[in-house]
Amino acid sequence: MSETSPTLSRRERNRINTAAEIKDRARAQMESEGVAALSLRAIAREMGMTAPAIYRYFPSRNDLVTALIVDSYHSLADALNEADASVARDDLTGRLFAITRAYRAWAFAHRAEYSLIFGTPIIGYHAPYEVTKPAANRATVPLVDVIMKAMRRAGAGPGQNSGVYSGLSALEDDVRHAVIAAWATMHGLVSLELFGHAEKIEASPDALYDAEIVWLTRRLGIETQSPNNGNSL
């Protein structure tokens, strides 16, 4: 999961493993006890260490949280990129389905991490923007690419400054709006569902979700292509 430098000493390998285990236990704890209940002492306890040992790896609780947030964004970004890559580049509908379904699947497979990055902000904690932002941006790349191409294909030809983008704010207004709208759709449906507000209401959330993505494709003018009905979750 990290760089495989030529030779790592026992000590270095242990250090990497221990740091990884701390984060794994933290994730498991957030999953079962909630994000706010994350406790260094509890992590240490589970690992059979004393609490101060954690400080060899993370200078404070907040730094651990920051690391978990960055990891979460990367995990989400990987999932979205991987899903996107499995579809032909010019099948924009297929890609949109792949990406949006992967988003929902990731959220359900990583509830705690989803809450961590998209849920209610943590009380006394403010993520250091410069650390968090690059990871967060990575997660937006595939969706932005699809929507940008879709809008360009649909004829609204503002695609002069194309190619690589560095953060959403550099995008044209239309594309940016469409991306936020799409994201809001995904996020709205997923968080209502995940946090139990659509629970007793909707029997087939999969179908509803897909139906909403179909609406997105219509808005983007790419609805003519195949809806790609695989299983979504």
Smallest gap from residue 89 Cβ to its own copies (A)? 26
C-beta of 78 vs 212, nearer to its own copies: 212
Residues 164-223 interacting with its own copies (rule: CB under 8 A): 168-169, 176-177, 180-181, 183-189, 191-192, 195-198, 200-202, 208, 211-212, 215, 219
Q: Of 55, 49, 26, whose CA–CA distance to 39 is shortest?
A: 26
C-beta of 11 vs 200, nearer to DNA: 11
Q: Does 214 bind DNA (CB under 7 A)?
A: no
How many of the other CB atoms lie within 10 Å of CB of 179? 19
| Nearest-angstrom CA–CA distance, 119 and 66 | 15
Residue pair 186/97 in contact by the 8 Å Cβ criterion? no
* 34: partner contacted, choices DNA, its own copies, none (Cβ within 5-8 A by kind): its own copies
| Nearest-angstrom CA–CA distance, 73 and 134 | 9
Q: What Å distances lie between residue 11 and 3, 7, 18, 56, 75, CA to CA?
A: 16, 11, 10, 13, 27
What's 180-195 look like in SS3? HHHHHHHHHHHHHHHC
* 36: partner contacted, choices its own copies, DNA, none (Cβ within 5-8 A by kind): its own copies
Please, what sign has the CA dihedral across residues 90, 210, 79, 180?
A: positive
What are the tokens at 32?
């079962």
Smallest gap from residue 174 Cβ to its own copies (A)? 11
C-beta of 75 vs 115, nearer to its own copies: 115
- Fill in the per-residue mask, 42 to 61: x = in contact with DNA (CB under 7 A), - = not in contact: x-xx--xxxxxx-xxx--xx
Residues 76-105 interacting with its own copies (rule: CB under 8 A): none
Find the part of the chain contacting its own copies (CB under 8 A) among 11-19, 30-38, 99-107, 155-163: 30-38
Q: Which residues of this protein are in contact with DNA, per CB under 7 A?
A: 9-12, 14-15, 18, 38-42, 44-45, 48-53, 55-57, 60-62
